[in-house]
Structure 1
Amino acid sequence: MKLGSIHFYPVKSTAGHEVAAAEVEPWGLAGDRRYLVVGERGTLLTARDEPRLLACVARLDGDELTLTGPHAPPLRVVPGTVRSEVSVWRTPVELTDCGDAAAEWLSGLVGQRARLKWLDDPARRPVDPAYGRAGDRVSLADGYPLLLTTTASLARLNDWIVETALERGEEPPKPLPMHRFRPNVVIDGAGTPFAEDEWKRLRVGEVEFRVTKGCDRCVLTTIDTATYQKGKEPIRTLARHRRRDGKVWFGINLIPDGRGRIVQGDPVTIL
């Protein structure tokens, strides 16, 4: 097996980037999900509720963030010094406000009052203690530092989606792209679809990871990133083939045991 691709998302729920290499830090890939957007009530705003966030391309040049979108010229973001507490999936986290210019830019994109927040200290947010150790930390990802998927599992899921469509007399859709699932690392050569369900530890290049739990999927995976419209797949088919405990599952969550650099093509070893 090998590392097929690497992805990171500077601002939570915005467009991601595929990169050839990345630095693994205890809380995730360097630069991954250190920013998020809050709505007019100061609560977390994601593409689940506002798909237009996916039209935002956030690029990092060192520590400098630039936002690009279809509605306004690119904006260079300069975080301020004012902090406030934001609930990130029921966990209160102190975040730094990124100023009025970023707020105006994002508000124009999503059509409501919005502000950009920055996690200046990525060691501030703990991982759920039910699945992590006392010192485990996560940036602003949903729950865990990295998400892993495999091309073998996506191929099987796309086959199932075609079967579902044909059984219902529907036109078979185009295969879903992996970016619908917003992984950080994608593994090639796993062979058996969903083999990752049984993995406990793995090594990518020289970096070792613990598997915490599977990833239960939400409506975000149903959003077409070209049209920003919600559909039925893959949730409809996952509910048929990958449903347990009242949820549907695709991918696994990882916690790094150490730091290091991972590179596309690195060998992947199950430990």
Structure 2
Amino acid sequence: MKITALYVYPIKALRGISITHAELGAQGIKYDRRFMLYNRRPNGELRHMQLSSYPQCALLEQEIVTAEDGTAQTILVQYRPPPPSEDSPSSANSSIKVPLEPDISSLEKATVDLHGSPTAAYRMGECYDEWFTACLGVPTMMVYIGDGKRAILGNTLLPKTGQQSSQPPQAQKGGWISSLASYVNSQPQASSPPAPWLTFTDLAPFLITSEASLRDVSTRLPEDQPLDMYKFRPNIVVDGEGKDSWDEDFWAELTVGARRQKLLLTGNCVRCTSLNVDYQTGRPADGELGTVLKKLMKDRRVDPGMKWSPVFGRYASLHRGDGANEETATICVGDEVEVTGRNAERSGKYLPAQNSPGYT
């Protein structure tokens, strides 16, 4: 197999950026999902914004802008409005620049929550809030992860080995809350590696998808309505002649490139209505493209821990000790990919009922 595409999403829920090479670290591709948008509700509640609930986020395109020396500096965000309609919001300025690595010393802190895993983040400021509010049509707050860290939830997503635990955290002594508190408060021994953590990626640092499985889904749609991989919002896309669709359900480890970089595949990605979004209108798609999630429901509810949600893709983490802590590793489109570990059975996800995201 080979890597056929790579994507990065500096601002979560906006359109992804196709890249030719990626620098990998313990928290994912460099710059991936370091920023996030929250809807400020009338009661003061902050609701995280993702495509399933805020499809208008698909109208925002992002691009990493580099300096003359090739150093990445800013994110250029451009608003791509839908065809004119009476209820389409508009922004006086069609673009805004966001520093990739803001100076957090003068930024206000805010506690935010994503899928039950909270962290302290930094508010980017009113100028950004007002611009996104004008584009999206709802009161919006932009935050930067900075030095914040989110605990990894779910026993299948802790990157300890390529094998899956058979016992859900609710069944472990002390229950889910006790397990989470133990994780957050535990101090590793001097000889132990740091506990893994996340930025604003949903449940793991990487998402890997397969072109073979996309072809399977595409056969369920009219020939004149192709389904694009970007709707599944992966980081790493792989393909190989003769590989069966859905083979990735059983992958436990991939080895990539000449450096033999290992990725541990530690859980399934269950899907939501973001698959049905039309990126041109910022709304649920009309016709067959608006029924992709329903089509997957027929035969892809294969995760025993999330039996009501269909699976497409696998969460992954960088193998600890292979560049995850001491250095970064680079992979490129075209790199060879080998399945070097397999599970005898499909993984099962064990999360509280309220924590069942699709990938955004």
TM-score, normalisation: structure 2:
0.69
In the aligned structure 2, how far is the partner of 1:64 from the partner of 1:204?
Answer: 29
Tell whether the 8 Å contact from 1:243 to 1:249 is kept in structure 2 after alignment. Answer: yes
Match of 1:233 among 291, 300, 313: 291
Partner of 1:145: 205
Say whether the 8 Å CA contact 1:211–1:254 is kept in structure 2: yes
Query: Aligned partners of 2:220 and 2:275: how far apart in 1?
Result: 16
Cα-to-partner distance string for 1:114-145 (whole Å, 9 max, x where unaligned): 111001126x1222251204722222111111
User: Quick one: which of 85, 91, 99 aligns to 2:117?
Assistant: 91
Secondary structure at the residue paired with 2:219? Answer: helix
Question: Which residue, 318, 329, 333 being the options, matches 1:260?
Answer: 329
1:32 maps to 32
Alpha-carbon separation, structure 2, partners of 1:85 and 1:58 = 25
* Deviation at residue 160 of structure 1 after TM alignment: 2.9
What's 1:251 paired with? 313
Out of 41, 45, 48, the position equivalent to 1:44 is 48
The CA distance in 2 between the partners of 1:156 and 1:48, in whole Å, is: 23
Whether the 8 Å contact between 1:83 and 1:94 is mirrored in structure 2 is: yes
What is the distance in 2 between the residues matched to 1:81 and 1:9? 22
**Percentage of identical aligned residues:** 24
Which moves more between the two structures, 74-83 or 30-39? 74-83
- For residues 151-170 of structure 1, the aligned pairs below 5 Å read 151-162=211-222
Matched residue SS, 1:176: coil
CA offset at residue 173 of structure 1? Answer: 5.5
| 1:77 is aligned to 2:128 | no
Maintained 8 Å contact 2:10/2:33:
yes
User: In structure 2, do the counterparts of structure 1 residues 129 and 158 end up closer, same or farther at CA, with 3 Å as the change threshold?
Assistant: closer
Residue 97 (structure 1) shift: 0.6
2:273 corresponds, among 219, 232, 248, to 219
Cα distance in 2, alignment partners of residues 252 and 187 from structure 1? 12
Q: How far off its partner does 1:237 sit?
A: 1.1
Superposed displacement of residue 43, structure 1: 2.3
The answer to whether the 8 A contact 2:107-2:125 is kept is no
Aligned-partner Cα distance in 2 for 1:226–1:34: 25
User: 1:230 & 1:68 partners in 2: Cα distance?
Assistant: 21
Letter in 2 for 1:16: G
Matched to 1:224, the amino acid is D
Larger CA Rg, structure 1 vs 2:
2
Rounded to whole Å, the distance in 2 between the matches of 1:160 and 1:88 is 33
Alignment TM-score, normalising by the size of structure 1: 0.91
Aligned position for 1:165: none
Q: Is the 8 Å Cα contact of residues 277 and 283 (structure 2) preserved in structure 1?
A: yes
Q: How many residues align?
A: 261
Q: Residue 75 of structure 2 aligns with which residue? A: 65
Deviations 1:156-202 (A, max 9, x none): 1111345xxxxxxxxx6612110110011110116110110110011
Q: Secondary structure at the match of 2:75?
A: strand
State which drifts further: 60-69 or 13-22.
60-69
Q: CA deviation at 1:58?
A: 2.4
* Unaligned ranges ≥5, structure 1: 163-171
Aligned 8 A contact 2:6 2:22 in 1:
yes
Q: CA deviation at 1:113?
A: 1.1
User: Residues of 1 paired with 2:318 and 2:23: CA distance?
Assistant: 11
Q: Which amino acid aligns with 1:198?
A: F
Deviation at 1:74, TM superposition (A): 2.0
Contact 2:272 2:293 survives alignment (8 Å) = yes
Say whether the 8 Å CA contact 1:216–1:250 is kept in structure 2: yes
Residue in 1 that maps onto 2:83: none
Q: Residue 161 of structure 1 contacts residue 233 of structure 1 at CA under 8 Å; is this kept in 2?
A: no
Distance (whole Å) between structure 2 residues aligned to residue 84 and residue 63 of structure 1: 24
| Contact 1:161 1:237 (8 Å CA) reproduced | no
Contact persistence 2:56–2:281 (CA under 8 A): no
**Contact kept? 1:31, 1:60, Cα under 8 Å:** no
